[in-house]
Structure 1
Amino acid sequence: MHLETLLPLGKVDPGLRAPERTLDLASVATDAALLEEVGYGGLVVEETKDDPFVVMALAAQATTRLRLGTAVAIAFPRSPTVTALSAWTIQKLSGGRFTLGLGTQVRGHVRRRYGMQWHPPGPWMREYVGAVRAVWDCWQHGTPLEFHGEHYDLSLMVPLFDPGPIAHPAIPVHLAAVNPYLCRVAGEVADGVRPHPVCTPSYIREVMLPAVRRGAGDRSLADFRVAMKPLVATARTDAELETRIRDARARIAFYASTPGYVRAFSHLGLDDLAAHAQQLSKQQRWEELPALVDDDVLDRFAVIGTHDEIGARLLDRFGDLVTDCEFSIAVHDDTDRATLAGLAATLRAHGDGAARREIIGGNGQM
């Protein structure tokens, strides 16, 4: 069984994240129940090889306390009304435990994988969230559906397609982001931001969170979340860890080759590394990419340690910035099961604190 834990560094309990491979859908319910049993607080799944809303439905049916979320579902290929209904259904099934995490995807995928025209993603996402919320408001309060924007014009909701009000209509929305504009949009319209794994603590602190605050204006950020899956290399033993470290080097180099992530590398003065990685990527010389990442660069981007070390190292690096932190860990036997429980205890012991103050400002005001 392969699990990815969601280990909050703030005031909520630890949880689980689904792996970046095809899930054994028949085991989702069992895996979710295990995480709930050993003390985790949430399960989230990304949209890669399985529909995240289907996975969330399976997990919701098998649990009673576990928080559930998409991290992330790709927004633009879906009509806002379609996304609104999927989230509404999971929220109803779970009794109010669902968080809608949304991402933009990059230009090439929107155009060539989804067959859509590309638009500037920040304004597009701002409008998308507004449209989803307008649909929810219509269903919950009977408000006429009248949302008119550059991308979406919604004005029809007949009784046959109106699911009506639910007990927990306030569904949190989290937005994936790297660049400041989308961080500002998250501050304006969302309940949380999801930094990409390429975002280092200094980048989050100096670039992302100030943009979130600017976007929020006078809006309180007291309940705002910063949820992240850092780049983690962890294993039972030092020998097994070496393989994970090689994987981390390859992942960093791949991120460096992606134009949308360049700003995170430029922040650290690594423009030459990013340019070289992009050149190798264009030439499809993938096997040469990991050699670009020396030990110093590896340490800047990855959190490395054995299972008994990784919890404390995550706290050291992200404890004053991130409220929810996710990573992968394989569970094969009772030893791994104990590791899950121990990590949960480590992160819960941290409690609320510096991360919350960092997000909302030193005096708790904007």
Structure 2
Amino acid sequence: MPLGKVDPGLRAPEIPLDLATIGDDARLLEAIGYDGMVVEETKDDPFVIMALAAQATTRLKLATSVAIAFPRSPAVTAMSAWTLQKLSHGRFTLGLGTQVKAHIERRYGLAWSPAGPWMREYVGAVRAVWECWQNGAPLAVRGRHYKLDLMVPLFNPGPIEHPRIPIQLAAVNAVMCQVAGEVADGIRPHPVCTPSYIAQVMLPAVRAGAAKSGRSLADFAVCMKPLVAAAASEAELVPKVRDVRARIAFYASTPQYRAAFDHLGLGEFADRLKLLSRAQRWEEMPQHISDEVLDTFVTIGTYDTIGRKLCDRYGPVVTHCEFSIPVKDAADKARLADLAGAIQAESVDKARRAIAGS
């Protein structure tokens, strides 16, 4: 499958999604040759958006990138994914993320537990529910977090035509990558994960997890929405670059992403930004992002060059590359189609070999 999965950000990222146009957006992506459409859980329910896209299309692959797992019971997540898989006739991928401790405790009101073991159990529970529905297996989940053993006919949707729903896990640290290698079908590296970090830290952990559970990585996916500054012209790139500097500064100040910065010898740099963040000195933070740091984490280019630059940077380690480009008129649609062609021309053979370690 070529690089080129794209998310539904057909307007500028700061403009909220218009739910009334999701179907049109999805049809546009399908018509001009994109592989898929993904949506993250920020301001709208990703499962609702995916349902709108599934209803409007016939070929486009659909994925959450990601839905937050722990606030939802595995049975609830299993039902949402099962319904979308039925509606899309087998085109849905369930992307799951953990969220950080502060959000789990203070936004969702849950008790925190180490994310790796929790996610391993969560994925197993979701799949156990699916196995119960598809094949009539007794529901018998007994773990630290979940005890599931009741499924009555009224709440059992029964078998579907395409029961194999891929699960991908958002990851930064090696522990979650190993869990993904053990139990999932792919990883979704955070935008701060550079190609060298993916190749030298994340993929070895994935291979270790796969070896632990005796799984093949032949179809394992690495799906990523990199940090990108793209515009129609060099002049229009200037504010995009300014905005992405601020985003890097925010990510560097977040302790959960520290490993990606440590890998590049930027641990002390991340510490400085963390202190500025704690002091709420937000306006000062972007000026600490030098051009060298910017180029390390961000792919920058005009629309006619950005596709090739993304393929050159991420092609060897990423199987699916995701991005957002605003579409306001016919010229923008043409640019989006050209970008699809540039990326679709690339192969993922190098990435597959890197995942397998060959």
After TM superposition, is the score higher than 0.5? yes
TM-score band (shorter)?
A: over 0.9
Q: Is the 8 A contact 1:200 1:264 kept in 2?
A: yes
User: How many Å separate the matches in 2 of 1:327 and 1:245?
Assistant: 15
Matches within 5 A, 1:69-108: 69-108=63-102
3-state SS in 2 of match to 1:60: helix
Q: Is the 8 A contact 1:14 1:39 kept in 2?
A: no
User: How many Å separate the matches in 1 of 2:348 and 2:222?
Assistant: 13
User: How many Å separate the matches in 1 of 2:65 and 2:218?
Assistant: 21
3-state SS in 2 of match to 1:30: helix
3-state SS in 1 of match to 2:128: helix
Match of 1:15 among 5, 9, 16: 5
Q: 1:88-114 CA distances to partner (integer Å, 9 max, x unpaired)?
A: 000000000000000000000000000
Match of 1:341 among 328, 337, 343: 337
3-state SS in 1 of match to 2:17: coil
Alignment TM-score, normalising by the size of structure 2: 0.97
Seen in structure 2, the aligned counterparts of structure 1 residues 104 and 152 have a Cα distance that, compared at 3 Å, is: same
Match of 1:256 among 252, 258, 262: 252
Identity of aligned residues (%): 65
2:233 matches 1:237: yes
User: How many Å separate the matches in 2 of 1:289 and 1:272?
Assistant: 14
Q: Is the 8 A contact 1:187 1:216 kept in 2?
A: yes
Match of 2:58 among 37, 61, 64: 64
Q: Is the 8 A contact 2:46 2:64 kept in 1?
A: yes
User: How many Å separate the matches in 1 of 2:28 and 2:303?
Assistant: 19
Aligned equivalent of 1:292:
288
Letter in 2 for 1:226: V
2:134 matches 1:126: no
Q: Is the 8 A contact 1:126 1:185 kept in 2?
A: yes
User: How many Å separate the matches in 1 of 2:169 and 2:343?
Assistant: 24
Give the superposition deviation at 1:16. Answer: 2.6
User: How many Å separate the matches in 1 of 2:282 and 2:34?
Assistant: 37
User: How many Å separate the matches in 1 of 2:207 and 2:3?
Assistant: 25
Structure 2: segments with no counterpart, 5+ residues? none
User: How many Å separate the matches in 1 of 2:267 and 2:345?
Assistant: 39
Q: 1:224-249 CA distances to partner (integer Å, 9 max, x unpaired)?
A: 00000000000000011011101111
Give the superposition deviation at 1:273. Answer: 1.0
Aligned equivalent of 2:310:
314
Q: Is the 8 A contact 2:316 2:348 kept in 1?
A: no
Aligned equivalent of 2:209:
215
Matches within 5 A, 1:33-48: 33-48=27-42
Q: Is the 8 A contact 2:5 2:321 kept in 1?
A: no
Q: Is the 8 A contact 2:5 2:320 kept in 1?
A: no
Letter in 2 for 1:292: H
Give the superposition deviation at 1:13. Answer: 6.3
Match of 2:141 among 129, 141, 147: 147
Aligned equivalent of 1:332:
328
3-state SS in 2 of match to 1:44: strand
Letter in 1 for 2:40: E
Seen in structure 2, the aligned counterparts of structure 1 residues 352 and 202 have a Cα distance that, compared at 3 Å, is: closer
Aligned equivalent of 2:159:
165
Q: Is the 8 A contact 2:3 2:319 kept in 1?
A: no
User: How many Å separate the matches in 2 of 1:304 and 1:25?
Assistant: 29
Alignment TM-score, normalising by the size of structure 1: 0.95
Letter in 2 for 1:184: Q
